[in-house]
A and B are shown apart, each in its own frame.
Chain A
Amino acid sequence: MSDSLGTQVTSTPVQTAASPPGRLLQLWKEIKRHKVSYFLLAPFLILFFFFTIVPIFMSIGLSFTYYNILEKPRFIGLSNYRLLFVDDDIFLKAVGTTLKFAFITGPVGYIMAFLLAWLISQIPVKYRFFYTLCFYTPSITSAVAMSVVWLYLFAGDRKGLINYYAMKLGLFDEPYLFLQNVHSIVPVIIIVSLWMSMGVGFLAFLAGLQNVPKDLYEAGAIDGVRYRWQELLYITVPSVKPQLLFGAVLQVVSSLTVFDVSIQLVGLPSPLYAGHTILTHLFDYAFIKFEMGYASAIAVVLFIMMIGLNRIIFKLLGRD
């Protein structure tokens, strides 16, 4: 991983050629010379070590065991993974739902966030704040708090707002059970997630777009750029590429970790597991069934999916 991300960081002078013991000694001297730096880093690194690094290895270790918290973990090799991919139909269904969800909300939310940020950057600065607030606010609301609105909007009787208006307009003959029907559960979760998707990435795009140098556009006009879409494609997008990559990384993570919205709207377990995602499966096994070994295997699979997908994104977008 480090090789692909490392270009931003200048190499340290220690790496000059020398005999191995001399090099180590020099490294040690260098470390001692910078002890203030390490001292400043220490609180962050200690917390990061205990709550991020150690848990990663613990998860991997536990995924090879049977562990129910009461008894000691018992090593069972790859059984958890075999169970997960061969016998656990609900898990496979959850993977399907998660991917279906991720491949829709991921790209749609991402493109929507970028286009809205671009449109906002086209208007004078003094009006921008109002629109930024309109699009960003949904993402800072909590899924728990908003459930009062969604449960009412999508309610399955004639008192639900959508059902009421749809019936009034003659679209439905009878109320549609949005939150109980297995066909509408995933679409409803997707709509709600898209509503909440203009978050940190959106702000990054907005900030990046504000800082594209003006003379680039002037130079583009001289070079024959005539239309706004040409400007967007040939000047704007390349200039905000770093922000695009940052936004993409966050989007991958958030679209694979759909959890809150599903639990709040359709519950755990959802009707026929239609809204079941990898993360709800993980939560189910970890904190309801207390099968920590099995749940750790689920966590490891999700972890690998996220890192893997982000590697691909880096390969696609990261090139200059």
Chain B
Amino acid sequence: MHGIVKGRRVDWSGIFLYVFLTGFGLLMLLPLVYMASTSLKPVSELFLFPPRFLVDHPTLMNFRDLLLITGTSFVPFSRYIFNSIVVSGLIVAGGIVISAMAAFPLAKHNMPFRGAIFNMVVLSLMFSPMVLQIPQYLLISRSGLMNHYLALILPYLAAPVGMFLMTQFLRQIPDALLEAARIDGASEWKVLWSVIMPMLKPAIATFALFSFIQAWNDPYPAMVYTTKEDMKTLPLAIQTISGGAGVIARVGTFAAASFLMIIPTIAVFVITQRLVLQTMAHSGLKE
């Protein structure tokens, strides 16, 4: 912060701050740099001794191999990408609509049980949905949704974190705007779409980021709810390329696939980051 501790010391601590942040920041990025460089390594460099961190003669061969080798196997790699895009896309889009619809009355209407419903949502932030895997699996398999896109989507639509952030964000929006629209004769449904949704944009971007990352990276829905190869999603397919846990096989192709998988999540963050920080300012919990 400026103004308070300005003195002779501040230059030194300022320089130290930048050196520390830059050094530590780059250290955090090293594993990602290594992944990117491995995905560009030709076969001759993959198993060199002594091991090299960076690539000498970059090539796109691994990416070509990824599409070719897996293209000749019985399910083409593009199918996994397609599945992942469909599933994450629908989870994000559906989640936004459902959460925004629910956050509006929770933040702005004064109906009975409002407190109880909100507390229930906060309570569900306190445990991981992973402990509910078994009954969710039983529900899905009993209802005949196995190997269906719906099985990969439905359990993840009602996301407490997104709903919580949206409600908190809406609370600080002044009621006067809503009242103005209501006086003009707009129904609550109309108020939601024409007043609330545009103002909710930062929270929607944040929700999109978090739920996209979660849906895109999670291999377990596909592992548990699908048995057919052509219903699998990207993270599970990548696990298959690697030959299972703890095994490194086809390092180059594996790195290329992993690299492809990480790119969209970083892109979504770069696009949404400004709005995300606006929203997270309202993420606080109070007793």
**Which residues of A does B touch, CB under 8 Å?**
1-2, 4-14, 27, 30-31, 33-34, 36-38, 40-41, 43-45, 47-48, 50-52, 54-56, 58-59, 62, 69, 116, 119-120, 122-123, 129-138, 140-153, 155, 158-161, 164, 179, 195, 200, 203-204, 206-208, 210-211, 214, 217-218, 220-221, 225-228, 231, 240-243, 245-246, 249-250, 252-254, 256-257, 259, 263-268, 279, 282-283, 286-287, 292, 295-296, 299-300, 302-303, 306-307, 310, 314, 318-320
Are B115 and A6 touching (Cβ within 8 A)? Answer: yes
How many angstroms from the CA of A225 to the CA of B1 in the assembled complex? Answer: 13
Are B25 and A131 touching (Cβ within 8 A)? Answer: yes
Given contacts A200-B210, A207-B279, A253-B126, contact A263 B245 (CB under 8 A): yes
* Main DSSP-derived SS at the A contact region: helix
What would 14 A/B residue contacts be, using CB atoms closer than 8 Å? A40-B102, A45-B117, A48-B121, A54-B135, A58-B134, A122-B1, A129-B273, A144-B219, A145-B258, A146-B31, A210-B281, A217-B4, A257-B130, A303-B127
Query: What A residues does B186 contact at CB under 8 A?
Result: none
Of chain A, the residue at the smallest CB distance from B110 is: A12
Query: What B residues does A159 contact at CB under 8 A?
Result: 47, 49, 51
The residue from A58, A210, A231, A306 contacting B127, defined by CB atoms under 8 A apart: A306
Q: Which of B65-73, B74-82, B235-243 contacts A (4 or more CB under 8 A)?
A: B235-243
- Known: A54-B139, A218-B3; 14 extra A-B contacts, CB below 8 A, are A2-B115, A40-B104, A43-B102, A47-B157, A141-B217, A152-B38, A203-B277, A217-B4, A221-B3, A243-B284, A245-B287, A253-B126, A267-B244, A282-B131
A289 to chain B, nearest CB (A): 12
Interface membership of B177, Cβ < 8 A:
no
The residue from B109, B127, B158 contacting A307, defined by CB atoms under 8 A apart: B127
Interface membership of B154, Cβ < 8 A:
yes
Query: What A residues does B273 contact at CB under 8 A?
Result: 129, 132-133
Query: What B residues does A150 contact at CB under 8 A?
Result: 31
How many angstroms from the CA of A45 to the CA of B262 in the assembled complex? Answer: 33
Interface membership of B112, Cβ < 8 A:
yes
A72 to chain B, nearest CB (A): 13
Are B111 and A119 touching (Cβ within 8 A)? Answer: no
Are B158 and A242 touching (Cβ within 8 A)? Answer: no
How many angstroms from the CA of A4 to the CA of B158 in the assembled complex? Answer: 24
B258 to chain A, nearest CB (A): 4
Are A135 and B276 touching (Cβ within 8 A)? Answer: no
Residue picked from A44, A52, A266, A267, most chain B C-beta under 10 Å: A44
Interface membership of B129, Cβ < 8 A:
yes
* 3 closest residue pairs by CB, A with B: A242-B284, A318-B287, A134-B25
Query: What A residues does B157 contact at CB under 8 A?
Result: 47
Question: How many A-B pairs with Cβ below 8 Å?
Answer: 353
Query: What B residues does A69 contact at CB under 8 A?
Result: 138
A68 to chain B, nearest CB (A): 12
How many angstroms from the CA of A62 to the CA of B260 in the assembled complex? Answer: 41
In the complex, how many residues of chain B place their beta carbon closer than 8 angstroms to a beta carbon of chain A?
Answer: 113
Interface membership of B183, Cβ < 8 A:
no
How many angstroms from the CA of A155 to the CA of B247 in the assembled complex? Answer: 10
* Main DSSP-derived SS at the B contact region: helix
How many angstroms from the CA of A296 to the CA of B131 in the assembled complex? Answer: 8
Query: What A residues does B110 contact at CB under 8 A?
Result: 10, 12-13, 34
A262 to chain B, nearest CB (A): 9
Query: What B residues does A268 contact at CB under 8 A?
Result: 245
How many angstroms from the CA of A149 to the CA of B279 in the assembled complex? Answer: 33
Given contacts A52-B132, A149-B35, A200-B161, contact A11 B251 (CB under 8 A): no
Interface membership of B270, Cβ < 8 A:
yes
Query: What B residues does A158 contact at CB under 8 A?
Result: 49
The residue from A41, A138, A204, A319 contacting B105, defined by CB atoms under 8 A apart: A41
Residue picked from A37, A137, A245, A256, most chain B C-beta under 10 Å: A37
Are B4 and A242 touching (Cβ within 8 A)? Answer: no
Query: What B residues does A30 contact at CB under 8 A?
Result: 111-112
Interface residues of B in 63-109 (CB under 8 A from A): 98-99, 101-102, 104-106, 109
Are B163 and A137 touching (Cβ within 8 A)? Answer: no
Are A148 and B248 touching (Cβ within 8 A)? Answer: yes
Interface membership of B133, Cβ < 8 A:
yes
Given contacts A1-B119, A54-B139, contact A148 B38 (CB under 8 A): yes
Given contacts A5-B287, A40-B101, A158-B49, contact A141 B111 (CB under 8 A): no
Interface membership of B128, Cβ < 8 A:
yes
The residue from A6, A43, A54, A246 contacting B285, defined by CB atoms under 8 A apart: A246
